[in-house]
């Protein structure tokens, strides 16, 4: 009895082993939907902090979810994880490529956290014999699946933010307008509402009085943000106003402007090209780093409207035609006419090279 009691006391005095991190593997879609930030990134450094481990990653492409337009290939981001693998912290594998699914922590510091239970894992590493996938997505399909979900996120934002020309409160470009009265030394009256009986807010005597973009070589046009029967809502320097179609010349709807002209994709482009207008798994082009120009030369072959949304069939050129030589098409397919912020995805060089 004395021996049994002594053994019991010894066992009670021994420290309890740490509980291992245990979590069931979830479908890829669950990880993506739960995460606030999703990316493919290379781990470049790991630093031990007082109560956690800080991981510094280099993005291999713009985030697939969350992030900002400024975060492109080569951008750095710092994430946090628990210091112990027993608490589901990530074991650092420097230079390995990770699939990152990050979430906010319990505090209000805005720090994003990753762990071995939220889907984050090493995808490619010299320590592994082959790439790592997910329970329902083999490794070779991970990049395509990320593109598919990213494409859905992009299209949701495009649909939510794309301007509606019939919305009288819209403030985003829907086209350009020639003001014929100015060509003959006249002026254009600007009204508060689409009616000549509404209050007069000003007069346009020159294109310098309003916000413009060129629709042809040294041919400025008023930036139009909405249409109403017989009226156009235009952008003034610091406000908006309505003008009568009687004072207007040629109307240039935005979706027609870049077609078969010397065009380029703007900084609104997500880098995705779809095989069909609004359908299929898109292919992704790595976007330039922040210190490079955002303009990607392309041919806009045609425009098509799907569910009220204009789409461009494009040929993204491998080289800039203005630099000389033959410009061969690279990616080909379809892109929405508008970007995630509701601004034009494509524009054109009105003055050529």
Domain-located, residue 67: yes
Please indicate, yes or no, whether residues 278 and 324 belong to a single structural domain of this protein: yes
Summarised one tens digit per residue, pLDDT across range 125-173 is: 999 889 999 999 999 999 999 999 999 999 999 999 999 999 999 999 9
Domain-located, residue 160: no
Tokens of 98: 């990770």
pLDDT at 110 (0 to 100)? 79
pTM for this prediction: 0.82
User: Quick one: 22 exposed, middle or buried, by C-beta within 10 A (0-12, 13-18, 19+)?
Assistant: exposed
Domain-located, residue 269: yes
- Taking CA atoms, 224 is separated from 67, 74, 184, 283, in Å, by 31, 37, 21, 33
What residues form DSSP beta bridges with 227?
A: 232
- Phi/psi of residue 48, nearest 5 degrees: -80, 125
Domain-located, residue 319: yes
How many beta carbons lie within 10 A of that of residue 65, not counting itself?
A: 19
Domain-located, residue 155: no
Tokens of 286: 């790595």
How many domains does the chain fold into?
A: 3
How many beta carbons lie within 10 A of that of residue 307, not counting itself?
A: 8
What residues form DSSP beta bridges with 42?
A: 58, 97
Please indicate, yes or no, whether residues 225 and 285 belong to a single structural domain of this protein: no
Domain-located, residue 149: no
Domain-located, residue 170: no
Give the Cα separation of 261 and 58 in Å (integer): 37
Please indicate, yes or no, whether residues 237 and 300 belong to a single structural domain of this protein: no
Q: How confident is the model at residue 19 (pLDDT cuts 50, 70, 90)?
A: low
pLDDT at 313 (0 to 100)? 97
Domain-located, residue 17: no
- Asked if residues 267 and 294 have their Cβ atoms less than 8 Å apart, the reply is yes
How many beta carbons lie within 10 A of that of residue 144, not counting itself?
A: 13
Please indicate, yes or no, whether residues 39 and 123 belong to a single structural domain of this protein: yes
Domain coverage including residue 191: 179-249
């Amino acid at each position: 009895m004395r021996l049994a009691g002594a053994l019991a006391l010894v066992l009670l005095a021994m420290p309890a082993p740490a509980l291992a991190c245990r979590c069931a593997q979830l479908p890829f879609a669950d990880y993506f939907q739960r995460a606030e930030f999703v990316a493919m990134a290379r781990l470049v450094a790991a630093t031990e902090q007082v109560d956690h481990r800080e991981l510094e990653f280099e993005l291999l492409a713009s985030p697939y979810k969350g992030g900002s337009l400024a975060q492109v290939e080569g951008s750095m981001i710092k994430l946090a994880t628990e210091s112990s693998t027993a608490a589901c912290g990530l074991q650092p594998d420097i230079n390995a490529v990770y699939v990152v699914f990050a979430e906010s922590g319990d505090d209000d510091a805005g720090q994003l956290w990753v762990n071995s239970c939220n889907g984050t894992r090493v995808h490619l590493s010299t320590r592994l014999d082959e790439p790592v996938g997910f329970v329902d997505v083999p490794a070779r399909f991970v990049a395509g699946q990320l593109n598919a979900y990213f494409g859905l996120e992009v299209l949701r934002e495009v649909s939510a933010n794309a301007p509606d020309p019939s919305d009288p409160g819209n403030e985003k470009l829907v086209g350009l307008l020639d003001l014929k009265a100015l060509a003959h030394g006249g002026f254009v009256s600007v009204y508060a509402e689409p009616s000549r009986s509404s209050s007069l807010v000003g007069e346009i005597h020159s294109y310098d009085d309003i916000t413009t973009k060129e629709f042809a070589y040294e041919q400025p046009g008023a930036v139009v943000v909405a249409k109403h029967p017989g009226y156009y809502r235009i952008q003034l320097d610091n406000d908006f106003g309505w003008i009568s179609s009687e004072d207007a010349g040629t109307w240039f709807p935005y979706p027609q402007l870049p077609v078969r002209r010397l065009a380029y994709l703007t900084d609104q482009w997500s880098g995705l090209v779809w095989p069909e207008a609004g359908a299929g798994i898109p292919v992704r082009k790595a976007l330039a780093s922040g210190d490079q120009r955002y303009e990607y030369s392309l041919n806009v072959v045609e425009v098509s409207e799907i569910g009220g949304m204009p789409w461009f069939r494009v040929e993204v050129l491998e080289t800039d035609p203005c630099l000389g030589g033959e410009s061969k098409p690279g990616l080909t397919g379809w892109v929405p006419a508008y970007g995630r912020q509701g601004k034009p995805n494509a524009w054109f060089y009105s003055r050529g090279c």
